[in-house]
């Protein structure tokens, strides 16, 4: 698994890495927010998220149930 983050100039991740979401709507939101083309193999590091937005151990489907 890559330890590189795909945002801006690809850089080595200093913190946790997150995969691209399987959910298409969330994937599109991420793509727009990051301004990059996301591929399934891409990873985004925790640096690009607010600490409050990172819920460790929470699955995307759990988040959708709350919304």
Residue ranges in contact with Zn ion by CB under 5 A: 5, 7, 45, 47
| H-helix or E-strand spanning residue 11 | strand 11-12
What's the closest the beta carbon of residue 55 comes to Zn ion, in angstroms? Answer: 18
- Closer to Zn ion by Cβ: residue 2 or 64: 2
* Contact residues for 56 (Cβ-Cβ < 8 A; gap 6+): 16
Closest by CA to 16, choosing from 59, 51, 58, 46, is 46
What's the closest the beta carbon of residue 59 comes to Zn ion, in angstroms? Answer: 22
- Closer to Zn ion by Cβ: residue 53 or 65: 53
């Amino acid at each position: 698994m890559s330890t590189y983050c795909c945002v801006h100039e690809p850089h080595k991740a200093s913190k946790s890495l997150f995969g691209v979401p399987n959910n298409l709507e969330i994937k599109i939101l991420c793509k727009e927010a990051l301004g990059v083309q996301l591929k399934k193999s891409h990873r985004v590091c925790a640096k690009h998220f607010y600490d409050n937005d990172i819920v460790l151990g929470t699955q995307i489907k759990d988040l959708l149930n709350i919304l």
